[in-house]
Amino acid sequence: MGKIIKRKVQRTFPWIMSLCLISSLVVGFSFNINFDFIPGNDKGIFNIGHEVQADTATTTVEVRNAAPYFDTGDEPEEDPASASTSPVNIGDSISFKGTGTDPEGDPYYLIICTASSASVTGGNPPTCGGGGSQLCISATTTSGSQISCTYNNLTDPGSETQEWYAFVCDDHPTTPGCSDANQGVGVASGSPVYVNHHPSLASVSTTVDNQEPGGTFTIEASVTDGDTEGGADEMTLYVCTTNSFTLGAGCDATTICTGSSTSPNVSCNYTDTAPTPDQAYTYYAFVYDWHDLEATSSVSSNYTIINVSPSIGVGTVSLNSGSDINLNIKGASEVEVAATTNSVTDQNGCTDLNGATSTMYLSGVAGGSDCSADDNDCYTVSSCTLSSCTGADDPTATYTCSTTFAFHTIPTDAGVGGGYDAMSWYAKITATDDNSVSTSSSYTTLNGVEVVSAAALDVTEVQIDFGVVDSNGNTGSWNASTTVINYGNTPLDTELYGDDLLESWVGPSLIGVENQEFSTSTFTYGSGTDLTASSSPGLNLNVDIARPTNQSDLSDIIYWGIQVPLGTISGNYYGVNTFSATEDADGNWN
């Protein structure tokens, strides 16, 4: 700091003013004198011609980011709240919610930990500390907005409660922070989470066993449950016929019995309803506590119905549900045909039935219902499907015996040749019971059904190529040919018709359809039969192809010739010939 020149002057104003006036008059110019009163100087000391100088010092402070906090009255809580009487099952989920406020308005996370420590670093979500683990963490939300997170698949904390600590941590880019731990103190839905554990199912047994149909059995399960919060759990026993159970729906198959108790063992009584097969029946036990949490596994045992004499009820059989059978032609999938019993009765229950066989046969076949298997007139089924059997207490069942009919199966509808129109198709089913007294019963259809005739053919060649023929010329003794194969279940003839041949498919020049000739043997043009354009009907050709008896082809050849009229312009001509299948009623039925 520069020196301050100080002069003491008298406080006599007139002297000063006089000096100024004299100096102004003598020198002839004016000047200024600065009088700066020196503070604190009562002697009248002034600075003359100088200003006061002062030092400066800057001030600094680092303001750290303030962590968010939970709003008063909106502390973190479970949603919905668990309690000793309504705990959360192991494996289920629980959600937490809370509202955080950040002084700087930063977005924040909600994190729930098992220990009272959480931290966060810039650019990362917060993590739990203090040896604790994370139960759940939310996405970020805006300050002052409520947020939630869900703890999925609750694991066993080793006790009936799980303490939790909630934190809100902001998303500040450089110095993020977390609130103090908050357990929702004072809130009914605050920490801890009450946890419900699986009961333990050790075994199941039939304590009263070996009864006749209609007897009563006692089934007892050995069960323990270590949870005591909210009182001892009541446990419910479900005994099912299959190892499959759906909570809320019960046994997926048949329920044998149910019982409930708070004691270590739970039992139930099952009174059988005859008819019931004489055999041991496996059952499966499922136990749930009163919070609908199941024992970790099911256990099984069995009860035994002792033998009583069986009886076989009388039923009827239908073939193809009583409808005529329409076959598919060769090359298509075979048609499924079923013989069905509408009632098989067994006083030991339908579950005592162990199988069935069936024969579907032409009424005139040798051996009748005991005929030998043949895809023309006798079909045998060695294994049938049991249905409509709801369990051991159901005395009736349905057997369905299915097979597929070949395309060449003999038809029996009205008008077919070979005498087959006087016949029908029937079915027999034999059901067998596997009780100690084995018996069988056969049931035969009362009324037959018809197999419908189906004349069908296939032409092997996709094109009748007449080659090159001069205008005003014909094919002479050279013939194109087509092979017709019997694809149906009757002897076969065919009807033929065709279209005019057009030049390049669109004309205008054409070769009339009547210029084509055909025959079942080779010929010289002019001696064949002229093709017609009429399709109603076409020209009948006796190809006389026999009814097939197996998958081997039965066929005949049709030969073709053509005349090109004078004046037909040169070019390529195209047309379509149609082959219609007709039944040859007087043909070879094999």
pLDDT, one tens digit per residue, over 203-243 is: 999 999 999 888 999 999 999 888 888 888 889 999 999 99
Q: Are residues 372 and 440 in the same domain?
A: yes
* pLDDT score for 469: 97
Indicate whether 108 and 230 sit together in one domain: no
The enclosing domain of 476 has a CATH number of 2.60.40.1090
207 and 189 in a single domain? The answer is no
Could you list the residue range(s) of the whole structural domain that residue 25 is in? 6-47
Which mean pLDDT values do the consecutive 10-residue runs of the chain (590 residues) have? 35 36 36 43 47 82 91 89 93 95 96 96 94 96 96 94 97 94 86 93 95 92 88 90 92 95 89 85 94 89 76 65 96 95 78 86 94 97 91 83 97 94 92 62 76 97 96 97 98 96 86 97 97 87 96 97 96 95 92
pLDDT at 444: 67
Q: From 148, 143, 126, select the one nearest 68 (Cα to Cα).
A: 143
Q: What are the DSSP E strand ranges found in 320-447?
A: 325-326, 335-341, 344-345, 353-362, 378-381, 385-387, 396-405, 425-433, 439-444
In whole angstroms, what is the distance from residue 189 CA to residue 165 CA? 13
Domain end residue (candidates: 436, 452, 468)? 452
Q: Please classify residue 254 by burial: count the beta carbons closer than 10 Å to its beta carbon, then call 0-12 exposed, 13-18 middle and 19+ buried.
A: middle
Q: How far apart are CA 318 and CA 324, in angstroms?
A: 12
The tally of domains found in the chain comes to 5
**pTM metric for this prediction:** 0.51
Query: How far is Cα 310 from Cα 438, in angstroms, rounded to an integer?
Result: 8
Is 310 a member of any domain?
A: no
pLDDT at 52: 54
Residues 461 and 447 in one domain: no
Would you state the pLDDT for residue 435? 65
pLDDT of residue 436: 45
Q: Which two tokens stand for residue 425?
A: 């198709």
58 lies in some domain: no
Q: Are residues 84 and 178 in the same domain?
A: yes
**235 plus 161 within the same structural domain:** no
- Residue 342 domain-assigned? yes
Residues 477 and 579 in one domain: yes
Query: Does residue 272 lie in a domain region?
Result: yes
H/E stretch holding 23: helix 13-27
Looking at residue 14, what is its pLDDT?
41
Alpha-carbon span 51 to 35, nearest angstrom: 10
Contact 430, 440 (CB under 8 A): yes
DSSP of 183-225:
--TT-TT-SPEEEEPPPEEEEEEEEE--B-TT-EEEEEEEEE-
Q: Is residue 1 part of a domain?
A: no
Do 277 and 342 fall within a single domain? no
Domain boundary among 196, 226, 260: 196
Domain presence at residue 64: no
Is residue 390 located within the same domain as residue 434? Answer: yes
Do 85 and 132 share a domain, yes or no? yes
Are 414 and 469 contained in the same domain?
Answer: no
Helices assigned H by DSSP within 216-374? none
For residue 114, what is the domain's CATH number? Answer: 2.60.40
Q: How far is 358 from 282, CA to CA, in rounded Å?
A: 31
Confirm whether 522 is domain-assigned. yes
Is the residue at 182 inside a domain? Answer: yes
Domain co-membership, 221 together with 341: no
Span 147-202, pLDDT tens digits = 999 999 999 999 999 999 999 999 999 999 999 999 997 777 899 999 999 999 99
